[in-house]
Amino acid sequence: MANFLAPARRRDGRFLSGAATTVARRDLGPVQVLRVHAPRGAEPPGAGYADPGDSLVWAFTGAGAIVTTRGSAEVECDGGELLVNHMQRIDGFRMTPDYRALSIRIRAADLHLAARDVDVLSAAPVRSRSLLPRLIGTCATQLLASTEPATAAEDAAAARAILDLASAHVDAVAGRRTPPEVRSRELVVRARSFIDRYASFRSVAPQTVADHVGVPLRTLQRAFESDGTTVRRAIVDARLAHARALLEREQRLSVEAVAERTGFGSASVLSRTFAAAHGMPPAEWRERARRAL
């Protein structure tokens, strides 16, 4: 029988910092990715457990075991298993001394879960090597392992990817149909992937993107509006990102050539769009980048 540490109990509506130790953390807004292990005496400042609040915790147990308690019901999750819990509904948990886990926190509101869905998810662990859990865990692991600084856009895209995979896992486990909000996010993710890859072609327009993802343009427009932007704006932003990269990397390339390579078509269109977005013309941006080297 496993040897468990003293249980962590909810106090004043939350779990205290001594409940576990945080080894690493990556905050992506609606998604947080952490590595945690059982508390081991003196730990460095900031390594304590931060209560997840109104989040679902996707705990991939790497070693040891954890038991969560809700009323008289207990669920144990061992190494190689994934258990999802809405921590506000958990009364307490206890770990073995060798417990360690990859933990993903997702705001409950972002997954549009009914109470029944949460009950099904937290009723029993699943094997973390099953397809969807493996994809979720791999994505989160790569985020923690990355040493390269990420842009806000990259963090947002990573969060969307984890949210979509988590929603798909809920669909599979709870037997629910994907809600319209999730289908909308899926459309946006697929469309952005196409835009990022092909925006440098002048022929790419909102209708081109809609044709690629296989929906009417108005449907795609509504999906992007729910994401706080438009298809045309996403295309322009992708072209601007490509233009900035070329201006900084290819110092001898003319502004006209940069415009041609990034889908703007002419130096005047690039300059006007670039100045509106960044408050300076492309040539000044390039010069500032050169001086910063």
The predicted-structure confidence for 72-103, as pLDDT tens digits, reads as follows 888 899 999 999 999 888 999 999 999 999 99
* CB 23 within 8 Å of CB 37: yes
Residue type at 289? A
Q: Is the pLDDT of residue 46 over 80?
A: no
How far apart, in whole angstroms, are the C-alpha atoms of residue 268 and residue 12? 61
How far apart, in whole angstroms, are the C-alpha atoms of residue 7 and residue 24? 23
CATH code for the part of the protein at 8-178: 2.60.120
What would the mean pLDDT of 97-119 be, rounded to a whole number? 88
Q: What's the pLDDT at 45?
A: 53
Q: Is the pLDDT of residue 126 over 60?
A: yes
How far apart, in whole angstroms, are the C-alpha atoms of residue 141 and residue 99? 17
How far apart, in whole angstroms, are the C-alpha atoms of residue 73 and residue 229? 45
Mean pLDDT of the chain, nearest integer: 89
Q: Look up tokens 């417990």; give the residue.
A: 99
**Cβ atoms within 10 A of the Cβ of 1, count?**
3
At 290, list the tokens.
């050169």
Is the model more confident about 221 or about 293?
A: 221
Q: Is the pLDDT of residue 178 over 60?
A: no
> Which residues, 6 or more positions from 66, have their beta carbon under 8 angstroms from its beta carbon?
59, 76, 77, 83, 93, 94, 95, 96, 99, 101
How far apart, in whole angstroms, are the C-alpha atoms of residue 143 and residue 137? 10
At 177, list the tokens.
């149909």
In the chain, domain spans:
8-178, 186-292
What would the mean pLDDT of 15-37 be, rounded to a whole number? 91
What would the mean pLDDT of 3-30 be, rounded to a whole number? 90
Greatest CA span in the chain, whole angstroms?
74
Q: Shortest CA distance to 102 belongs to which of 39, 59, 142, 50?
A: 59
Q: Where does residue 185 fall: left (phi above 0), alpha (psi -120 to 50 degrees), or beta otherwise?
A: alpha
* CB 23 within 8 Å of CB 39: no
Q: Shortest CA distance to 128 belongs to which of 80, 93, 57?
A: 80
What would the mean pLDDT of 126-133 be, rounded to a whole number? 91
Q: Is the pLDDT of residue 116 over 80?
A: no
Q: What's the pLDDT at 44?
A: 60
At 225, list the tokens.
């509006």
**Cβ atoms within 10 A of the Cβ of 155, count?**
16
How far apart, in whole angstroms, are the C-alpha atoms of residue 102 and residue 64? 12
Describe the strand order of the beta sheet including 126-127 as a list of residue ranges.
21-27, 31-37, 100-107, 55-63, 81-86, 126-127
8-178 and 186-292 in the same fold:
no
Cα dihedral 27, 33, 38, 41, rounded to 10, equals -20
Top-tier CATH class for 186-292? mainly alpha
DSSP letter at 260 equals H
What would the mean pLDDT of 245-267 be, rounded to a whole number? 93
Residue type at 40? R
Q: What is the pTM of this model?
A: 0.59
DSSP letter at 79 equals T
